[in-house]
Amino acid sequence: MGYETILFDIDDTLLDFKAAEEQALSWLFQDMGVEPSLSVKNNYKKMNQGFWRDHEAGLLSRQELLDNRFRLFFEQYEREVDGPRTEARYRHYLNQGHQLISNSLEVVENLSQKKDLYVVTNGVSATQHQRLKKSGLAPYFKKLFISEEMGVHKPMKEFFDIVFAEIPQLDKEKTVIVGDSLTSDIKGGQTAGIDTIWMNPQGKEAMEIKPTFQIKKLTDLYQILEEF
């Protein structure tokens, strides 16, 4: 008994997206002649999070988001930039960031010996493939489900319909999703009818969306996966 299939989110669950993003933004802002200070970066992050919330809510397509976020951002600093080209430059820098979250490689390697592991990520295909490969995580997953390739994203039910259809002999009762986002990973898992594990290192409170389990660090998974 117990969970046999584990669906893993990538960013801020196994890979440190924040570290990769910090580095890529610094390089990009320098290229554009904007000092990459804390306040400039925070300004960008706030704007970007707003765009992604609109995307999750279905108000903005991923392509619109990617094509316009840097154009709109640099407008604030009186820089006229080509949106898609600046996005491509940022992407190039971001692709090089593959900092692991603490001992995620070891945990994934251990779990892969007993469980079937899959990646479920909202992201750009080339970026996620490259980061998973460079970090050494890629070989431990049976398959990568990346929203850009699927045309649907977490937390949409359609995203999980595709995942379930493509995993042979999947038993939803024995499947669990692990992720750091309540609005995409946990909500998505609940909509899809599977158990959920919230990666919550800072011990935040789950308000409306209640996960099945919470963990502070990836090694906490061992106990949950052994007992349930």
Q: Are strands 116-121 and 195-199 parallel, antiparallel or unpaired?
A: unpaired
Closest CB to Mg ion among 9 and 56?
A: 9
Contact mark string toward Mg ion, 175..194, x via CB under 5 A:
-----xx-------------
Contact mark string toward Mg ion, 27..56, x via CB under 5 A:
------------------------------
Burial class of residue 30, CB neighbours in 10 A (0-12, 13-18, 19+): exposed
Of 11-19, 29-37, 128-136, 214-222: span binding Mg ion (CB under 5 A) = 11-19
Cα–Cα nearest to 199, from 173, 178, 184: 178
Q: Are 91 and 20 in contact (CB under 8 A)?
A: no
Catalytic residues, by residue number, are 9
Cα–Cα nearest to 98, from 66, 136, 145, 148: 136
Minimal distance in Å, beta carbon 91 to Mg ion?
Answer: 18
Closest CB to Mg ion among 11 and 195?
A: 11
Residue numbers 108-147 binding Mg ion by CB under 5 A:
none
Closest CB to Mg ion among 14 and 81?
A: 14
Of 21-29, 99-107, 174-182, 218-226: span binding Mg ion (CB under 5 A) = 174-182
Q: Which helix (H) or strand (E) holds 163?
A: helix 157-166
Write 38-43 long-range contacts (CB < 8 A, 24+).
Answer: 40/77, 43/73, 43/76
Of 1-9, 127-135, 140-148, 214-222: span binding Mg ion (CB under 5 A) = 1-9
List 9, 16, 56, 87, residue binding Mg ion (CB under 5 A): 9
12 contributes a contact to Mg ion by CB under 5 A: yes
Q: Are 207 and 178 in contact (CB under 8 A)?
A: no
Closest CB to Mg ion among 169 and 202?
A: 202
CA angle 185, 227, 172 (to 5 degrees): 45
List 3, 5, 11, 190, residue binding Mg ion (CB under 5 A): 11
The residues that touch Mg ion, with contacts defined as CB under 5 A, are 9, 11-12, 180-181
